[in-house]
Amino acid sequence: MLFLNFKLLIINLNMPDLYTAKPTEKPPKTHRKTSVFDRLKNVESPFSAFVVKPDGVSFENQRRGEAVLLVLRKHWITNLGWVTMGIFLVFMPLIFVEFPVITLLPTGYKLVVFISWYLLLIAFLFEKFLIWFFDVGVVTDQRVIDIDFYGLIYKEVSEANLEKIQDVTLQQIGAIRTVFDFGNVIIQTAAETNKIDFEDIPHPQRVSRLLEDLTR
Amino acid sequence: MIDLNIAVNDLFNLSPWPIIKFFFLVALLIYIIFAFILVRQVSVMDKIFHSRFNVFIKLISIALFVLSVVVLLIVLKFL
């Protein structure tokens, strides 16, 4: 009996393995993020409010190897107010040219009044454009950054690492926002800045889904 | 003693244009300061968020500053 057991043991030791489980390697953490990154269609237009994987974009305190996935601005429709006003103000001197106060002015003064008017108008439109252009939300493969410009002399930059994101809320209130597909994405974080708002950004559902994918 | 009639006459004969020109110059000086702040502000904004298009925005802000100086010179020379 002892001999038989010993024989079985020898047979067992000499038998080739029929199946050997391959050691499973956990994919590196960046792999999952890269796949989300790859699914996004590249949008390069500099005036776009939804820029995907932009080239040549960088920001203050960008970490080495940190890739910008999304640059978000307010939807173009939010600029409609000042653009319409600008168009109206361009033609305003044509209305005022017949006013008695203007007609009384000598030609040189008339010219200076018109030049001054257009200088003021350019300043007004340029300032509005700057605030829209530089008021951005940035999503990278490591964090979210919200750069806010309130006027030309007040700026606010808030950021949070992706791991600190606790909750992503989507707000799309009103018919205009639904029709043109824009809204707010509010990100609750455990970072120093406990709330990051991306206001009136296009495709908020896509953004919130992307953020959920990145933080999962 | 100042003759009141002469003083009133002088006041009425005074041309308003130098005063208007003075106000134009003051307004343009304020505008030049604003345009300069705008150039600086664009540089700060570019440092915070840089994209390839920022070069054009910088050029526009500088052009606005130069234009305001040119207008000031025109007012000084021709008005």
Query: Which of B15, B37, B48 would best serve as a mutation to test chain A binding (most A beta carbons within 10 A)?
Result: B48
> In chain A, what residues touch B75 (CB-CB under 8 Å)?
112
Query: Which residues of chain B neighbour A55 with C-beta distances below 8 Å?
Result: 52
ipTM value > 0.85: no
Paired residues of A187 in beta bridges: A168, A196
Q: What is the pLDDT of residues A146-183, one digit of tens each?
A: 999 887 678 889 999 999 999 999 999 999 999 999 99
Coil, helix or strand at residue A143? strand
Give me B16's structure tokens: 């308003």
Q: Which residues of A170-184 are buried (b: 16+ CB within 10 A; e: fewer)?
A: eeeeeeebeeeebbb
pTM for the whole thing? Answer: 0.79
Q: Measured between alpha carbons, how far is A93 from A100 in angstroms, rounded to an integer?
A: 13
The DSSP bridge partners found for residue A15 are none
Chain segment A66-115, per-residue pLDDT in tens: 999 999 999 999 999 999 999 999 999 888 877 777 778 888 888 888 89
Cα four-point dihedral sign B52, B54, B56, B62: negative
Closest by CA position to A141, among listed A37, A28, A212: A37
Contacts of A88 (CB under 8 A, 6+ apart): none
Per CB-CB distance under 8 Å, the chain B contacts of A116 are 24, 27-28, 31, 71
**Mutation site for A-interface testing, chosen from B29, B49, B55 by largest number of A Cβ within 10 Å:** B49
**Do the beta carbons of residue A165 and residue A189 sit within 8 Å?**
yes
Average pLDDT over residues B45-71: 94
